[in-house]
Structure 1
């Protein structure tokens, strides 16, 4: 083999090695390209999945109020691209994004459903008709459903509406119902929380529905410019029975502190009325310790118990302040009316603002308000001058804390200014004229009969039935049957009560 042959062999070896190196480089490049392509495809898929998932997540988040679409915070596809109108042009501001429409519809459907459950079918239809998507088949179907339900309502007997009332509810029977004069009084005129809960459950099961006094009749302006009390008409499903509920002395008086009752009303973190309560060990808590939050919870579970969302009447006196706050002028350190027997309240102005927020929240929650006089006076025995002075104090100290002028007077002790004859101007020793001029048009005494109502041109009168220890006990032992149309007293009566119970 010649030298030339060796050179040729070496050259071929080098070329072979070079070819293999190039093939390896090409293979590596091919694998790299494949990896890059695969990563790109995977990234594209992930991006697409994220896009689709977020689009589907928007309605879910909006439904739970976790995302509210708006021009500032919404993604570009929610704000920049608008749906075409029927003319093929963008709709402008009147056309919301798909997510916004869905949220608006869901909210409207929810509101209308609650209105319908509370027999306000006209309100439910109005709510749905306000939607921008008027051709939605689900919406139109619901409207037809509400119209059909409304057509089945029947008028109730407007002369046959009973009215029951309670005082502040007992939280701790051991502290409230001691064998003292005060404890025996509480035992006769108060109701325990378990009794109240059983009463409303029994009445609900029997078809009772809460209404307002303004649902029964209201002052309306006539053609000649005068005002007249006009009877209205309540429509309910067959078998349902309207009734009115009220609670007296929603003041949380000083003398009741430490006796097993709530201290004062407060707003919780959601702006809902609750009660502050101090137990026997001095521990303070906030919860359902009186009629308002208990009734709210029940209506939330049984919305059809409240006609148009209307709940109880809350009656206030004024001499100890309102809702547990010492807001009266007799507690004002800067007022000449400060009573030296009272502990001056240096925070009286802040407390007044708190009470205003509470009464506004209560109104929004479905409650009405009533005067129980300023000083819990007997209107039957007091002179005209004394009633005038008391009414002036009410108007000065309590009415400004309410959202609206007060038209309802619940007589303390049930002591009416007249007998069964209708009120007339110039009679009742001028007391009716005084109260009418003060703005009162609804008057309630206490009557043990099932129903007592009287309509006049300038007033509505109604008897109220006390649901308290004495009335429950006399029915429980069979002494009298005054409650069986409302509930089974055997289920209601709280056997923790000391017995016998006498009228104190």
Structure 2
């Protein structure tokens, strides 16, 4: 029994010894694992702290240490702070120099000098040199003749001559009153080469407070370098009417993916593209290449009617199925509020881009041949349907057909059958008719008038065929006229 018991005790002890050995190994392994984990955590904290310190330094945050007296030790600044400050200063300098350069190229020397002075770098050689240069140019500017400023105008550009200018009654009309894209581009280049510079009507004259509460139209003085000539440009009927659809004209105005003003166009095969298909994007591209063509960045006047909506969108109340003014002859626009919002975005972009706006009446009416009552009704519709889509109240009226309410005599209260009194009461101060003279301007106490010159098919062909010379002061028609047009061109 004793041997048996002994053998049994030995077996148990052996088993217990093996268990204790395995248990010790597990504890040792666990302990070693904890040590490794601790080393990893310490390393991570170290690396993280180093990254945090570098990140704080990169953001110009000084690592502060306590001196023992409660004060902060900032004696040791990382050199990256100074480097970043230098880079920031250099970037601001470059931006300011480029901004001032463009302002100066567009004859706004005061703005250019102010831009550079805002840098507060009186000891910077580049800044002082540029300021000195702009002050020198400004000192040598000459006054423009404010009674000899020409005004040229266009309609919607012809994209496809074959589709737009066919031998039909409508095609012949368009052939006489429209300009093709190649013609317009050549006109821009020739006027630029001859020293012409676009200005706004508000650059020519402005209503000013006389100090006693009364307002008066005051002639401004445009100052330009020797050889530069101010002129005004406008475009009528920037509406993209329904009857022009699928006839070789743009469809509407849009903003492209870069936020630039462009046109949508549908070709003969039904392909839709976005590009430079009308005056605005073509002029923008030209001014981008030649900033000195636009005085203070000012471009053309965009004249709008209302009866078909504006800029190619059917925004008029006569297209609104929920309006009592809805015209059953019109296709209802169920997205009219969205389209109105789009137009507001476009007109804001146009203003920002340097354009002014004008009323061309709601229904393209003849102001000379219509009664005061009809003019009032039409103007009310324009203000209600077009005016509220513009970023500012409209002060410019461009007469449809060029039909002025009066002759060459200045407007007077109580004259012109009360038409001027009414138009003034709703805010119009600038009035443009059509005149074949080189320039016609009239400054009144409460208005400014200017004649305009049509650079269209009829007028271009008139010069090209030798019938009359009305445009040689601004262009060489032999180089402008698009010979792909059907000829002869008569006034339709």
Give the TM-score normalised by structure 2.
0.84
For each residue in 1:229-251, what CA deviation from the matched residue of structure 2 results, as whole angstroms up to 9, or x when unmatched?
A: 01000000111110000000000
CA distance in 1, matches of 2:238, 2:56: 51
Give the secondary-structure state (helix, strand or coil) at the position aligned to 1:97.
helix
Say whether 1:266 aligns with 2:247. Answer: no
The equivalent of 1:80 in structure 2 is 61
The equivalent of 1:356 in structure 2 is 344
CA contact (8 A) 2:56 2:62 kept: no
For each residue in 1:158-215, what CA deviation from the matched residue of structure 2 results, as whole angstroms up to 9, or x when unmatched?
A: 0000000000000000000101000000000000000000001001011100000000
The equivalent of 1:15 in structure 2 is none
CA distance in 1, matches of 2:345, 2:231: 28
Give the deviation of 1:220 after TM superposition.
0.8
In structure 2, the gaps of 5 or more residues are 1-53, 64-74
Q: Which of 285, 288, 307 is the aligned partner of 1:300?
A: 288
In structure 2, relative to structure 1, the CA distance for the partners of 1:131 and 1:278 (3 Å cut) is same
The equivalent of 1:202 in structure 2 is 190
CA contact (8 A) 2:429 2:447 kept: yes
Give the secondary-structure state (helix, strand or coil) at the position aligned to 1:395.
helix
Give the deviation of 1:98 after TM superposition.
2.0
CA distance in 2, matches of 1:142, 1:160: 33
Q: How many residues align?
A: 424
CA distance in 1, matches of 2:124, 2:323: 62
CA distance in 2, matches of 1:74, 1:433: 69
CA contact (8 A) 1:78 1:97 kept: no
The equivalent of 1:373 in structure 2 is 361
The equivalent of 1:399 in structure 2 is 387
The equivalent of 1:184 in structure 2 is 172
CA distance in 2, matches of 1:270, 1:132: 34
1:3-42 equivalences in 2 (<5 Å):
none
For each residue in 1:343-393, what CA deviation from the matched residue of structure 2 results, as whole angstroms up to 9, or x when unmatched?
A: 110111011110011011111111111000011000001000000000100
Q: Which of 118, 122, 127 is the aligned partner of 2:110?
A: 122
Q: Which of 449, 456, 461 is the aligned partner of 1:473?
A: 461
Q: Which of 320, 334, 341 is the aligned partner of 1:332?
A: 320
Give the deviation of 1:131 after TM superposition.
1.2
Worse-matched range after superposition: 221-230 or 284-293: 221-230
Give the deviation of 1:104 after TM superposition.
1.4
Give the deviation of 1:80 after TM superposition.
2.4
Give the secondary-structure state (helix, strand or coil) at the position aligned to 2:433.
strand
For each residue in 1:121-155, what CA deviation from the matched residue of structure 2 results, as whole angstroms up to 9, or x when unmatched?
A: 00100111111434322111111111011111100
Give the secondary-structure state (helix, strand or coil) at the position aligned to 1:125.
helix
1:26-175 equivalences in 2 (<5 Å):
76-80=57-61, 97-175=85-163
CA contact (8 A) 1:265 1:275 kept: yes
CA distance in 2, matches of 1:244, 1:98: 45
CA contact (8 A) 2:150 2:440 kept: yes
In structure 2, relative to structure 1, the CA distance for the partners of 1:375 and 1:74 (3 Å cut) is farther
Say whether 1:431 aligns with 2:390. Answer: no
CA distance in 1, matches of 2:393, 2:89: 39
In structure 1, the gaps of 5 or more residues are 1-72, 83-87
Give the CA RMSD over aligned residues: 1.8
In structure 2, relative to structure 1, the CA distance for the partners of 1:74 and 1:322 (3 Å cut) is farther
The equivalent of 2:240 in structure 1 is 252
Give the deviation of 1:78 after TM superposition.
4.6
Q: Which of 258, 268, 275 is the aligned partner of 1:280?
A: 268
The equivalent of 1:24 in structure 2 is none
CA distance in 2, matches of 1:76, 1:114: 37
The equivalent of 1:452 in structure 2 is 440
The equivalent of 1:409 in structure 2 is 397
Give the secondary-structure state (helix, strand or coil) at the position aligned to 2:410.
coil
Q: Which of 311, 314, 339 is the aligned partner of 2:302?
A: 314
CA distance in 2, matches of 1:126, 1:200: 31
CA contact (8 A) 1:190 1:469 kept: yes
Give the TM-score normalised by structure 1.
0.82
CA distance in 2, matches of 1:80, 1:110: 31
The equivalent of 1:31 in structure 2 is none
CA distance in 2, matches of 1:96, 1:129: 23
Give the deviation of 1:75 after TM superposition.
7.1
Give the secondary-structure state (helix, strand or coil) at the position aligned to 1:461.
strand
CA distance in 2, matches of 1:389, 1:75: 68
The equivalent of 1:487 in structure 2 is 475
Following TM superposition, the consecutive aligned residue runs of length 4 or more in structure 1 with deviations greater than 4 angstroms are none
